[in-house]
Amino acid sequence: MPAGSNAKRERQYEHIKEGLVERGRPEKTAQEIAARTVNKERARHGEARESSRLSREDMSSSRRGGLRSHSGSGGRTKAQLYNEAKNMNIEGRSKMTKAQLQNAVDKH
């Protein structure tokens, strides 16, 4: 963690890092993502000595992550559907569109 961070930011960093490692990210990558996320939150809340305008004015990391979680109206990604179809041994999956994959996975 960067110098000057408080206990809350330390906990936040560890929580983000552990979550990424549990989801299969390499330790080094997880540390970098967690540090960047916490640094941006520090900037947004006026806790950093220096910060870019984008860090202060952009949407929060948690909001952005929630929008990109694929749990909303868009549902699963084509890659996720393809992997499910592969696990189910559905024939012709490589030539299917996202909608066709969705139908095939749902019917199977």
CA 95, distance to chain mean position in Å, is 28
Q: Report the amino acid identity of residue 6.
A: N
Number of domains in the chain: 2
* CB-based contacts of 91, cutoff 8 Å, min separation 6: none
Same domain for 63 and 90? no
pLDDT band at 63 (very low <50, low <70, confident <90, very high): confident
Per-residue CA distances from 6 to 3, 13, 27, 59, 81 (Å): 9, 11, 22, 22, 42
Same domain for 21 and 48? yes
- Whether residue 2 is contained in a domain is answered as no
Domain with 19 in it: 7-67
Same domain for 14 and 61? yes
pLDDT at 2 over 80: no
E-strand ranges in the chain read: none
pLDDT band at 58 (very low <50, low <70, confident <90, very high): confident
Position 53 scores a pLDDT of 82
Place of tokens 């936040």: 12
